[in-house]
Amino acid sequence: MDKKSDIDSGSGSDSETMKNIDDSVEDTVDDLMHESEDDFEEEEEEDDDEDMSENESDGDDNNNPTSNWLGITPASIRKEVLKIHEERKVKAKRFLKDFQGKLTLSYDWLLLGYRDHTIAPVKHEDFTCLSAHFIDDDWKVRKWILGYTTDASIPMDDLLTYHFRTAVQSFEIQNKVSTILLPNDEDFDEKTVDAIKKYMGEEGLPVNVVYCCADLFRLMVDDLCGRFRWGLYEELRMLVSWGRCFSTPNWNVTLYHYGLALDMHKEDAFSKDEIYDEYDKPSDEEWVQIETYCKLGGCVYKVAKELFEEGGYSTCNVYFHLLAELKVMLKKEVDGGGGGGESDGYFVGKAKKMLKMFDKYWGGMFVVLAAACVLDPRFKMKYVEFYCAKKIDGDEGSKAETVLDYLRSLFARYAASEFCQKPICSVATVDHEEDEDDEDEDYGDDDDEEADKEEKEKPDAYKDFALFQEFLKYEGSSPREFGDSELDAYLKEPIIEWDKDFKALEWWKEKSQTYPVLSRVARDVLSIPVSRATSYDAYVTEKREPPESVLSMDAKAANAVMCGRSWLPLIK
């Protein structure tokens, strides 16, 4: 999930209570986790929140004088957490109702993998997380968890639609949702997606469906190692001695390790040194598979690194040109035929399958991603026109007109609203968590200078992106005829100079007075997350796991705690 939460201090009659809850939320989670074995053996489904008595947690608490003196027990903490959750949910609903922007709802199924690292007894092994993504009036990216529930009591035929329907109806956001973000999962077929969409969206306005880019990368890389012999990774670990072997390391780690082994193999290190004679080694066929994995997986990682690591959270305006780069790299590998060796058939077969997977994703996401690219003033229509002029997808450039028509239609709907004529004004409703992070930047000038030096020394991957370098030399197509709308005025202006560290949200915040309507369009489009996970979580090879702190909680308490971490203290 997102590393940053939206945190505010409470106010009013319950401000003191909220302060105590906010300051101790992590400690209370630990208390619940460690003491749950003795204190939560009763069946929570038969408990009513109002009927939970102090006697439920007697026993071990009698041996804790501090707990008895303060009157604090896991049961009393649970009751207080649920109470605060319900009070703040009312304010959350009011905030979302008054919010003059659009939301994206994302679905994530979290599943506990190996239990070796868990401490407390596990009550639930899986949770479904339903989150709302938006950009607030201060142009900050927000993610609120609207539901963190188990699937135990949900009928199987309603499993995938239940969470969307419940969140939309519970928070009354039917007309606020413009997009849904789904995993690349076969369970979300067309029938299921249509069933989800009918619960949301304004009348006459389609709900966009986007699929997780991190999932696409995982599936592509997984296919590359689908034929690997079981135990091959452990065998290479012993051979190369890269340390402890994890059962399911992230695929970027696996790629790095296989690359180390392949480099040593190419240098004939395993034959030159007799120390390796007693170790099992991959066969010639397996070295071909490993080389294919490293070469094609390296193409994916080159783009994934820019999306998920270099810039932290990437808004969706950067996805189009980076995914276009991946498309060109994969197509080049297919057309190159693998380099002219006996293993070409295997390599080209894998490259073609990866390209086919990518094309399916690219075709469904093209318009949304291209529209976000146009709303990046470094690109506008120029990059989309450049890409379409290359005829990489086999068309004759008609897609560029489709993207422009989509934006014109979207802009017209916003322009028809009287409220959208007003620029977005920052509101002082949130004490942003970023303020705490900003303090870390003021520790000393020496640290700043060292960080700047490291930033300057960091290689720029864009220099190796062939398609992007070609774009920089692109002069553009024939001039277009523009009207007098804000969208036309924006497109008339020349693109700004390329800056890899450019922040689109900051630019649109500054230009909201110049483009009051278009800035609202940009805010809602750029708020669409194209990946459910970033950073470390973007490279997981299996399902992401729920936090250990909620595994021993009953479902209701887990929902209150997880929602609380994302939005409960945010609203005053």
CATH number, domain of 88, equals 3.30.420
**59 three-state secondary structure:** coil
pLDDT band at 218 (very low <50, low <70, confident <90, very high): very high
Give the C-alpha separation, 179 to 104, whole Å: 5
480: in domain? yes
Lowest average pLDDT, out of 131-135, 149-153, 552-556, goes to: 149-153
Residue at which a domain ends, from 277, 294, 311: 311
Q: 3 near 12, Cβ under 8 Å?
A: no
Query: What kind and span of H or E run contains 105?
Result: strand 103-111
442: in domain? no
Its domain, for residue 176, covers: 74-211+541-570
Q: What is the dihedral of CA 352, 357, 360, 361, to 10 degrees?
A: -130
Question: Is 364 in the same domain as 414?
Answer: yes
Query: What kind and span of H or E run contains 357?
Result: helix 344-374
Residue 62 pLDDT greater than 60, yes or no: no
φ and ψ of 107, to 5 deg: -115, 130
H helices of 133-212, where?
159-171, 190-197
Q: 544 near 129, Cβ under 8 Å?
A: no
Strand 177-182 vs strand 208-211: parallel, antiparallel, or unpaired?
Answer: parallel
Phi and psi based region of residue 231 (left: phi greater than 0; alpha: psi -120 to 50; beta: remaining): left
Question: Is 145 in the same domain as 249?
Answer: no
Average pLDDT score, the chain: 78
Residue 165 pLDDT greater than 60, yes or no: yes
Query: Which residue has better confidence, 5 or 126?
Result: 126
273: in domain? yes
- What is the model's pLDDT at position 356? 94
Lowest average pLDDT, out of 112-126, 402-416, 448-462, goes to: 448-462
Q: Which two tokens stand for residue 234?
A: 């452990």
pLDDT single digits (tens) 11-60: 343 444 334 434 443 443 344 334 433 433 333 334 444 333 333 344 44
Question: Can you name the residues that pair with 179 across neighbouring β-strands?
Answer: 104, 208
Lowest average pLDDT, out of 5-14, 78-87, 284-293, 296-305, goes to: 5-14
Q: Is 486 exposed, middle or buried (0-12, 13-18, 19+ CB in 10 A)?
A: middle
Question: Is 115 in the same domain as 83?
Answer: yes
410: in domain? yes
- What is the model's pLDDT at position 451? 42
- What is the model's pLDDT at position 36? 39
- What is the model's pLDDT at position 473? 87
Question: Is 526 in the same domain as 547?
Answer: no
Query: Which residue has better confidence, 232 or 375?
Result: 375
Query: Which residue has better confidence, 429 or 218?
Result: 218
- What is the model's pLDDT at position 329? 95
CA neighbours closer than 13 Å in the CB half-sphere of residue 443:
10
- What is the model's pLDDT at position 177? 94
Question: Is 170 in the same domain as 127?
Answer: yes
pLDDT band at 427 (very low <50, low <70, confident <90, very high): low
Question: Is 303 in the same domain as 252?
Answer: yes
Instruction: Kindly give, in sequence order, each residue whose CB lies less than 8 Å from that of residue 118, ignoring residues fewer than 6 positions away.
Output: 112, 548, 551
296: in domain? yes
- What is the model's pLDDT at position 134? 95
Total domains in the chain come to 3
Residue 483 pLDDT greater than 50, yes or no: yes
Q: Which two tokens stand for residue 481?
A: 């005829």
Query: Which residue has better confidence, 255 or 33?
Result: 255
For residue 138, the tally of other CB atoms under 10 A from its CB is 16
Note the residue count of the chain.
572
Query: Which residue has better confidence, 168 or 549?
Result: 168
Residue 410 pLDDT greater than 80, yes or no: yes
Question: Is 416 in the same domain as 497?
Answer: yes
- Highest mean pLDDT: which of 266-275, 358-367, 481-490? 358-367
Question: Is 222 in the same domain as 96?
Answer: no
- What is the model's pLDDT at position 442? 32
Question: Can you name the residues that pair with 534 across neighbouring β-strands?
Answer: none
453: in domain? no
- What is the model's pLDDT at position 47? 41
Q: Which two tokens stand for residue 148?
A: 């963190």
Question: Is 384 in the same domain as 495?
Answer: yes
CA neighbours closer than 13 Å in the CB half-sphere of residue 297:
25
522: in domain? yes
Q: What is the dihedral of CA 251, 257, 258, 259, to 10 degrees?
A: 110
Question: Is 527 in the same domain as 410?
Answer: yes
42: in domain? no
pLDDT single digits (tens) 340-372: 565 678 999 999 999 999 999 999 999 999 999
Question: Is 160 in the same domain as 91?
Answer: yes
- What is the model's pLDDT at position 121? 76
Query: Which residue has better confidence, 464 or 448?
Result: 464
pLDDT band at 446 (very low <50, low <70, confident <90, very high): very low
Residue 396 pLDDT greater than 60, yes or no: no
pLDDT single digits (tens) 515-530: 999 999 999 999 999 9
Question: Is 490 in the same domain as 392?
Answer: yes
Q: 289 near 346, Cβ under 8 Å?
A: yes
